[in-house]
Structure 1
Amino acid sequence: MSAGNAKHRRFLTAALVILFVLLGLFAVFPIVTLIVASFKPAQEMMRYGLNLRLDPELVSLKNYTYLFSDQSLYLTWYKNSLVITAIFTVLCLLFSSMVGYALAVYRFRFRNALFALVLVTMMIPLEIIILPLYKLSISLKLINNMWGVILPFMVAPLPIFFFRQYAGGLPKDFLDAARVDGCTEFGMFFRIMVPLMAPAFSSMFILQSLFSWNNFLWPLIVLRTNEQLTIPIGLATLLTPYGNNFDMLISGAVLAIVPILIVFLFFQKYFIEGMTAGGIKG
């Protein structure tokens, strides 16, 4: 390699590093600003807006202590979101992976038609099916409880598509050997395919838990009482025509980031592998 090419490569590397550092700072800046604002009184934000200005005389934990006081329902909302997200994510991954695995491995009539129907479902916005879904939820008595939030989206088209693509790229020799040894179909799925699809499960765990934790529109329609609300809806109720509780809103939003951040840090090692390996055929 000539000295000119080496110099050009070093320049491109340095430019890319600077670019990604700037993009990282751009992505982190809103979060840092939110954290700083959570330690200041709401009057400061109304006066100066969201900024990194931090006066030591105004810094306090008052906003956070109010979240855990008896006057606040924040802990109830937090618990509701955690329970709904945990149950939804586990059930969604379980059933969606089964459907995706079946569409990838088994040969049966109308298999391609069913997969095409899954793709069509991915293209339909939620707003189009809200009314019939709401009427169905009323008929099944799912209004104002967590199952009304979980059940309608428990088998989702995106995870089905993803698991189908991932399972289709795995070698089938393991399944043939398991059948010869007398393993049942469920045994093959749970003992062989689930461990092989671990990166796919990690990727979908992040995406589906993020979807459930941030879900706003459908829980807003289904949930009625304050004790049943989730974090996004509960925080939204703090903004009213009669007054805005920015103290609780900002500190509550900061704490709402924590569970998803933990999930991502825990599964990030497998995230990229799971998102890319589905396109590789075995």
Structure 2
Amino acid sequence: MDKKLTPKEKGIRLLLVLTFSFISLVALFPVISLVVASFSPSTDLMRFGLTAELFFSGFTAENFEVIFGGEAGAYWRWYVNSLIVSGVLIVLSLFFSSMVGYALALYEFKGKRFIFILVLLILMIPFEIMMLPLYTMMVNLRLVDTYFGVMLPLIVAPIAVFFFRQYCLGLPKELMESGRVDGCTEFGIFARIMAPLMLPSFAAMAILQGLSSWNNFLWPLIVLRSNDMFTLPVGLATLLTPYGNNYEILFSGSVMAIIPIIVLFLFFQRFFIAGLTSGGVKG
């Protein structure tokens, strides 16, 4: 039976609900404005700009008709490029970063502390500082204007390695010994015993890495050259030029770009909080 709340507790709860509701509306205002703009005529966008005011009489689906009617040029090509890059990057990043974090947490070997310090140092260095040597490396490897050129520097993310290490510190080492007694290989112990216990951390990092990859703009802008290879953020940016702005595709295309992230979050949401909280607690 629920405890009956006192008037003071009810007031505090109501205040918290109102406060967080207001914060949520402020955070969602750009998204609401974007959705409203995607259903507004292009002439209104030129006159009034972005606004959250709802004028249902002026709502039109012509902006989405431009996209789905095949008049959006390379938009769907950019969309597919982003899906391929983000999907492959999530899988590779989870696989390699989890193994590195797992090894740093549960194995003892020479240089382990030094490697972990290097991971922390790389985590503290802004990616923008490393872009020039990374681009030189991509040129030497002939990976410019390729999917793998976009993905290679991001496959083993320091934040993902750190996160998986912290999570694995809470896993019981006795399970590893039991696996060895049963004749399991070290990779088999990871894949069959430990990986299932790490599912919440995989889900949390899938969302964070997917969001980071899907919204990544600067590195793809540098390493990609041809219009057919652009990812969605880079492609949408090309719609704004000194000679004309394709607002019809820009706003409706941006709304369509939100859908994969929402689907990804809904798919992993039940593991998300568990993964974040468990990964930050040792023992």
Give the structure 1 partner of residue 170 of structure 2: 169
1:66 lines up with 2:66 in the alignment: yes
The answer to whether the 8 A contact 1:97-1:160 is kept is yes
RMSD of aligned residue pairs (Cα, Å) = 1.3
The answer to whether the 8 A contact 2:144-2:223 is kept is yes
Q: Which moved more, 1:9-18 or 1:211-220?
A: 9-18
Give the structure 2 partner of residue 7 of structure 1: 7
Deviations 1:227-276 (A, max 9, x none): 00010000000001111111110000000000001101111111111011
Give the structure 1 partner of residue 212 of structure 2: 211
1:155 lines up with 2:153 in the alignment: no
Give the structure 2 partner of residue 198 of structure 1: 199
Change (3 A) 1:247 1:23: same
* Structure 1: gaps of 5 or more residues: none
Give the structure 1 partner of residue 270 of structure 2: 269
Amino acid at match of 2:63: N
The answer to whether the 8 A contact 1:144-1:225 is kept is yes
Amino acid at match of 1:25: L
Amino acid at match of 2:135: Y
Distance in 2, Cα, partners of 1:275 & 1:238: 37
Change (3 A) 1:7 1:59: closer
Change (3 A) 1:21 1:57: closer
Alignment of 1:28-177 (within 5 A): 28-68=28-68, 69-177=70-178
Distance in 2, Cα, partners of 1:83 & 1:71: 20
2:6 partner SS: helix
Shift of 1:60: 2.1
Amino acid at match of 1:280: V
1:50 partner SS: coil
Shift of 1:6: 2.4
Percent identity over the alignment is: 52
The answer to whether the 8 A contact 2:239-2:246 is kept is yes
Distance in 1, Cα, partners of 2:166 & 2:44: 51
Distance in 2, Cα, partners of 1:244 & 1:146: 28
Q: Which moved more, 1:42-51 or 1:180-189?
A: 42-51
Shift of 1:56: 4.3
Distance in 2, Cα, partners of 1:278 & 1:224: 39
The answer to whether the 8 A contact 2:33-2:52 is kept is yes
Change (3 A) 1:210 1:267: same
Distance in 2, Cα, partners of 1:178 & 1:280: 25
Change (3 A) 1:54 1:21: closer
Amino acid at match of 1:249: L
1:21 lines up with 2:21 in the alignment: yes
Distance in 2, Cα, partners of 1:84 & 1:194: 24
2:262 partner SS: helix
Distance in 2, Cα, partners of 1:71 & 1:253: 13
Give the structure 2 partner of residue 220 of structure 1: 221
Shift of 1:281: 3.0
Distance in 1, Cα, partners of 2:37 & 2:281: 46
Change (3 A) 1:113 1:198: same
The answer to whether the 8 A contact 2:166-2:282 is kept is no
Q: Which moved more, 1:28-37 or 1:74-83?
A: 28-37
Give the structure 2 partner of residue 180 of structure 1: 181
Distance in 1, Cα, partners of 2:124 & 2:23: 30
Q: Which moved more, 1:196-205 or 1:58-67?
A: 58-67
Distance in 2, Cα, partners of 1:197 & 1:255: 32
TM-score (norm 2): 0.95
1:261 partner SS: helix
The answer to whether the 8 A contact 1:80-1:229 is kept is yes
Distance in 1, Cα, partners of 2:134 & 2:50: 39
Distance in 1, Cα, partners of 2:220 & 2:55: 39
2:58 partner SS: coil
TM-score (norm 1): 0.95
Deviations 1:114-144 (A, max 9, x none): 0000000001111211111111100101001
Shift of 1:50: 1.7
Distance in 1, Cα, partners of 2:139 & 2:268: 37
